[in-house]
């Protein structure tokens, strides 16, 4: 897709903020997401929508006039307690419901009422049962009594609501379903007759042939910065949109979860909620294998923003995530540079077309002049020298300098896989620093709360690095997949090179130990020599140590 340069297209909306409790899965497993149980689950279906009609609307729209639209909202009025199949046992009551939007590539639910008693658990999962969201608890309700799920692949989303015995069930009312018509989870091969189509990165208009997965060796020097970049889903009354952004550090060095993106990403009529996706990236250089889509946070508070037409900032949007980001998301708070000097060439990390994370390397960067003096202009490598570009959906993504510090966020451009000669505009952090001169139109009050006056700051990891402590090795949670497995165990850690591992049975006896080599595209240990059972895997890298419970089911 060819982006065109665009100018401000909407008047400045009234400044607003959504303060919300973080919606983050608390862990646990649903009871009824296996096999035949779903056959007996009550199902509610919506009218079928014409996906091609919406795609044609997008093709006819002025390119760059809005962020990438990926879904359409349908109004619902579903009382979950009344519409569900109910199963009762000694533990309590279990409400089971499937909501189907025929032909959808993904779905999400919006609840107008979310009232759970203490001890109740809410889960959501897809048709396979492999993608599970939850548990969600009473405290996950928004201040206005609403609740939003992240998107889940496929046309059916299963709702499982477990209420402890002796508790009143509360109230769950679904008011909207988001019908995905662009495939923001195109890597799920089971949705395609042609598996090759699932490997291109079919999110909106992403052109898989020229974009570089961050798992490739090209990203090895940028592993920390890669973890700072997030995919952003914006939900309005009528549609869902995708952009990119990045966690950004502040001079308090306190890991406040600020996300920097583009103003035009949120300049949407009826914006209701934002879901931020972490680690949405391939574990393979050549395709989109092993994607994780369940690490997300729903909710935001607007901190500062300014649009191009005001000539105050550089089309920037800074929002704060509610609560704290779980360590399992491995967040990195990127550094920044707001100096006035000429920019140096670094990298852009982004989600083109809403696709899994990519990395692109500009051929040249320079400060804009005239009407674009608050922007940085990038040029890209062409032909066989290709090192990536951007496209719609990349909006808001960070541009890093040679020192791996953010110097701007993507505003607009003309580059695309079929037009690598195009250039892109990134709003200068320098221009946004003081912006419109007020707290809600400038970055400085938020990124330099200590009023230090520094013009650059390095990034900050989610936890202090340290292998050993007086009590022994520090062990961090490790997510392995598949689990259960036949013995080949895969994972994703922010480390490269040699690593040692030990495996313990449930009696604490070491039953296996060895060494593995961690690369950008291969992180695994071979436990096929173990018998069927449950084990504890400890992995020791040069920077951190990890532990996970592994189930071998041969």
Q: Are residues 204 and 239 in contact, defined by beta-carbon separation less than 8 angstroms? A: no
Euclidean distance between CA atoms 471 and 419, whole angstroms: 57
Contact status, residue 72 vs residue 151, Cβ threshold 8 Å:
no
Q: Which of 51-60, 189-198, 283-292 has the lowest mean pLDDT?
A: 189-198
Phi and psi of 370, rounded to 5°?
60, -130
- Between CA 32 and CA 129 the distance in angstroms is 9
10 — pLDDT class (breaks 50, 70, 90) = very low
Q: Is the pLDDT of residue 466 over 80?
A: no
pLDDT tops 90 at residue 118:
yes
Burial class (CB in 10 A: 0-12, 13-18, 19+), 270: exposed
Segment 336-358 shows an average pLDDT of 93
**434 phi/psi in degrees, rounded to 5:** -105, -15
pLDDT the model gives residue 155: 94
* pLDDT given for residue 519 in this prediction: 76
How far is the C-alpha of 537 from the C-alpha of 254, rounded, in Å?
A: 31
Report the distance separating Cα 466 and Cα 147, nearest Å. Answer: 38
| Coil, strand or helix at 502 | strand
Residue 198 has pLDDT above 50, yes or no: no
Range scoring the smallest mean pLDDT among 28-37, 239-248, 349-358, 458-467: 458-467
pLDDT band at 481 (very low <50, low <70, confident <90, very high): confident
Mean pLDDT for all residues in the chain: 85
Q: Residue 430: enclosing H or E segment and its boundaries?
A: helix 429-434
**Which pLDDT band, with edges at 50, 70 and 90, does 287 fall under?**
low
Which of 154, 162, 198 lies closest to 179 in space, CA to CA? 154
- Amino acid 292: pLDDT: 66
Q: What is the pLDDT of residues 131-158, one digit of tens each?
A: 888 889 998 888 889 999 999 889 999 9
How remote is the C-alpha of 375 from its chain's centroid? 26
Question: Which position has the higher pLDDT, 409 or 202?
Answer: 409
Joined tokens for residue 431? 């221009």
**Alpha-carbon torsion, ordered 158, 161, 162, 167, to 10 deg:** -170
What share of the chain has pLDDT > 90, as a percent? 53
Lowest mean pLDDT, pick from 125-139, 247-261, 438-452: 125-139
Per-residue pLDDT band at 7 (split at 50, 70, 90): very low
Place of tokens 């979310």: 114
pLDDT given for residue 199 in this prediction: 33
pLDDT tens by residue, 307-323: 876 545 589 999 999 98
Which domains occur in the chain, in start order?
35-180 (2.60.120.290), 210-461 (2.40.10.10), 468-552 (2.60.40.3080)
d(CA 397, CA 350): 5
Lowest mean pLDDT among 163-167, 299-303, 348-352, 523-527: 523-527
| More confident of the two residues 106 and 498 | 106
Both tokens of 73, joined, read 């909202």
pLDDT tens digits, 404-439: 999 999 999 899 888 999 999 999 999 999 988 899
Angle at 152 between CA 148 and CA 156, to 5 degrees: 100
Lowest mean pLDDT among 231-235, 273-277, 309-313: 309-313
Residue 328 has pLDDT above 60, yes or no: yes
What would the two tokens of residue 292 be?
């994780």
Asked if residue 189 has pLDDT above 50, the reply is no
CB 263 within 8 A of CB 307: yes
| pLDDT (average), residues 20-27 | 61
Model confidence band, residue 283 (pLDDT cutoffs 50, 70, 90): confident
pLDDT at 185 (0 to 100):
67
| Contact partners, residue 257, CB within 8 Å, separation at least 6 | 247, 320, 321, 323, 324, 325, 331
pTM of whole model > 0.75? yes
pLDDT category, 36, cuts 50, 70, 90?
Answer: low
Over 70: is that where the pLDDT of 535 sits? yes
pLDDT at 201: 35
Strands 92-100 vs 42-45: parallel, antiparallel or unpaired: parallel
> What is the percentage of the chain residues whose pLDDT exceeds 70?
85
User: What is the model's pLDDT at position 174?
Assistant: 98
Q: Which residue has the higher pLDDT, 188 or 42?
A: 42
Q: Are 55 and 178 in contact (CB under 8 A)?
A: no
Which of 84-93, 116-125, 199-208, 529-538 comes out lowest in average pLDDT? 199-208
What's the pLDDT at 149?
93
Q: What is the mean pLDDT of residues 482-495?
A: 85
**Do residues 242 and 304 lie in contact, with contact meaning Cβ atoms separated by under 8 Å?**
no
Among 181-190, 417-426, 483-492, the minimum mean pLDDT is found in 181-190
Where are the strands (E) in 388-509, listed by range? 398-400, 405-413, 423-428, 456-457, 460-461, 468-469, 472-473, 475-477, 480-481, 488-491, 497-504
Give the chain's count of helices (H) and strands (E): 6, 39
CB atoms within 10 A of CB 429: 30
Residue range 338-357: average pLDDT?
93
């Amino acid at each position: 897709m060819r982006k065109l340069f665009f100018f401000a297209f909407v008047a400045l909306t009234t400044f607003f903020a959504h303060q919300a409790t973080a919606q983050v899965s608390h862990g646990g497993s649903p009871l009824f997401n296996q096999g035949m149980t779903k056959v007996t689950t009550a199902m509610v279906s919506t009218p079928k929508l014409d996906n091609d009609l919406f795609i044609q609307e997008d093709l006819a729209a002025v390119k760059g006039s809005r962020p990438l639209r990926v879904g359409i909202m349908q109004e619902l009025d579903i009382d979950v307690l009344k519409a569900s199949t109910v199963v009762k046992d000694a533990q309590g009551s279990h409400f089971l419901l499937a909501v189907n939007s025929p032909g959808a590539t993904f779905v999400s639910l919006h609840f107008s009422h979310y009232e759970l008693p203490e001890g109740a658990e809410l889960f959501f999962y897809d048709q396979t049962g492999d993608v599970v969201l939850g548990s969600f608890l009473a405290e996950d309700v928004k201040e206005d009594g609403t609740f939003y799920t992240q998107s889940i692949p496929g046309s059916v989303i299963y709702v499982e609501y477990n209420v402890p015995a002796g508790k009143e069930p509360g109230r769950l009312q679904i008011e909207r379903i988001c019908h995905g018509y662009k495939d923001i989870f195109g890597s799920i091969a089971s949705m395609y007759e042609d598996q090759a189509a699932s490997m291109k990165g079919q999110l909106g208009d992403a052109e898989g042939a020229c974009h570089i997965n961050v798992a490739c060796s090209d990203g090895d020097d940028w592993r920390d910065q890669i973890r700072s970049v997030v995919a952003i889903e914006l939900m309005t009354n009528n549609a869902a949109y995708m952009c990119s952004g990045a966690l950004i550090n502040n001079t308090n060095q306190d890991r406040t979860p600020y996300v920097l993106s583009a103003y035009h990403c949120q300049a949407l009529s009826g914006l209701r909620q934002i879901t931020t996706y972490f680690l949405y990236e391939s574990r393979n250089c050549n395709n989109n294998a092993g994607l994780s889509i369940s690490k997300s946070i729903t909710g935001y508070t607007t901190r500062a923003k300014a649009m191009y037409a005001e000539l105050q900032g550089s089309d920037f949007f800074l929002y704060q995530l509610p609560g704290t980001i779980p360590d399992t998301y491995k967040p990195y708070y990127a550094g920044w540079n707001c100096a006035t000097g000429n920019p140096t060439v670094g990298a852009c990390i982004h989600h083109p077309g809403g696709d899994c994370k990519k990395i692109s390397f500009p051929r040249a960067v320079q400060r804009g002049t005239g009407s674009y003096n608050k922007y940085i202009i990038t040029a890209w490598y062409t032909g066989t020298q290709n090192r990536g570009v951007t496209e719609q959906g990349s909006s808001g993504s960070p541009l890093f300098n040679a020192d791996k510090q953010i110097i701007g966020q993507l505003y607009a451009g003309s580059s695309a896989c079929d037009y690598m000669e195009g250039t892109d505009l990134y709003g200068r952090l320098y221009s946004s620093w003081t912006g419109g001169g007020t707290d809600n139109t400038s970055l400085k009050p938020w990124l330099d709360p200590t009023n230090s006056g520094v013009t650059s700051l390095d990034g900050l990891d989610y936890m202090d690095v340290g292998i050993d402590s007086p009590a022994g090795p520090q062990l961090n949670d490790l997510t392995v997949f598949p689990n259960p497995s036949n013995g080949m165990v895969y994972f994703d850690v922010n480390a490269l090179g040699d690593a040692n591992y030990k495996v313990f049975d449930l009696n604490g006896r070491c039953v296996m130990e060895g060494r593995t080599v961690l690369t950008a595209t291969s992180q695994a240990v071979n436990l096929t020599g173990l018998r069927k059972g449950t084990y504890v895997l400890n992995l020791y890298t040069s920077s951190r140590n990890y532990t996970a419970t592994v189930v071998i089911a041969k």
